[in-house]
Amino acid sequence: MSSKLLRLRTARQRHFLPPPLLQLVPVLLLLPPSRPASAAAATAVTHLPGFDGPLPFNLETGYVGVEEETGAELFYYFVESERSPGTDPLLLWLTGGPRCSIIMGLAFEIGPLKFVLAPYSGGLPELVYNPYSWTKMANILLLDSPVGSGFSFARDPKGYYVGDYSSSSQVQTFLNKWFTDHPQYLSNPFYIGGDSYAGKVIPLIAQGISEGIDMRQQPVINLKTYGYYLAYFWMNNNMTRKALGIKEGTTSEWIQCNIGLPYTYETPSSIPYHLNLTMKGYRALVYSGDHDLEAPFLGTQAWIRSLNFSIVADWRAWHLSGQAAGFTIEYTNNMTFATVKGAGHTAPEYRPKECFAMAQRWLDNEPL
């Protein structure tokens, strides 16, 4: 799948805005945070069912209210960077569907956990540490969005009637409240990224943050750029829910992708958002697995070309351990496109080592 990284800075630094993502293109954005009402109490998680011993990283989970009228609350996982949490980037990660659970990011793609796929003989699935976790270079905030995804819920059924615009607005509300409760991360470079359909919503979120920066709204976000059955058994286990701090009576059954709830598709194309954001100078990394059949990389190339940006560095292979890991091309307005050799729709799931190296180089402002 194609993915995008966008970057913004906090109010204390230059104000950058992330470019929007096109359909089915994940994006990373760096934003400066603001200061509204606080979030709900968080849970510090030191042990998880199925993981041997204490967690070798700092994990926090919690709920944040995003709509008083319907009692809508979004559930999140926050994993602190294992390198330098005080200065490393903060990455907000969303997933597709819409309404697929963010556990896919936590335990199948970029997070510090992964399920032991075989052998499995029933019972509680086993978890181990992911050596290619992006938490080795960044703080990661994984969010169940929109309402109805994973453990996010609404007390009034009307709260499940959301679309591209309302869900992106709720994410902005979430960020404002979360940063209010975590002010120590306000100066960290902030990025927004995600998988699949998240690529449609991320540009809307980035646009909203950018407009907030321009209007000097508070808090100011430092925006810089823009085996599944095992998960089912693990997430529906009572011990798991207790460890994660899941509110009783809010989610009867965890479902990987809750597609049965209503959702309004309001963004036929995110190209105008991408154009607006990149023209403002935000860095963007768009990447695609070259074996992605859901959102083929040729389609990603086509929409990038439609921006009519000049080529700065033409196609070349990028390498890892002496082997070609994909191809990359650089454009004006800080936009980079890369393919990941042998990767499918969710590239980090298929090629974790390669995607880790690619993201680390880009986040550290190094050539791919």
* Residues labelled as active-site residues: 196, 292, 345
CA angle 237, 241, 243 (to 5 degrees): 115
Distance set, CA 171 to CA 73, 174, 175 (Å): 11, 5, 6
Give the residue from 31, 84, 34 showing the smallest Cα distance to 191.
Answer: 31
**Each residue of 99-123: b (16+ CB within 10 Å) or e?**
bbbbbbbbbbbbbbbbbeeeeeeee
- Residue 257: DSSP 8-state: B
**Is 246 strand, coil or helix?**
coil
DSSP helix/strand/coil, 336:
strand
Query: What burial class does residue 262 get, using C-beta atoms within 10 Å of its C-beta: 0-12 exposed, 13-18 middle, 19+ buried?
Result: exposed
* Residue 366 tokens, joined: 């190094």
State how far the Cα of 190 lies from the Cα of 33, in Å rounded to an integer. Answer: 9
- The CB-side HSE value for 43 (13 A sphere, CA atoms) comes to 19
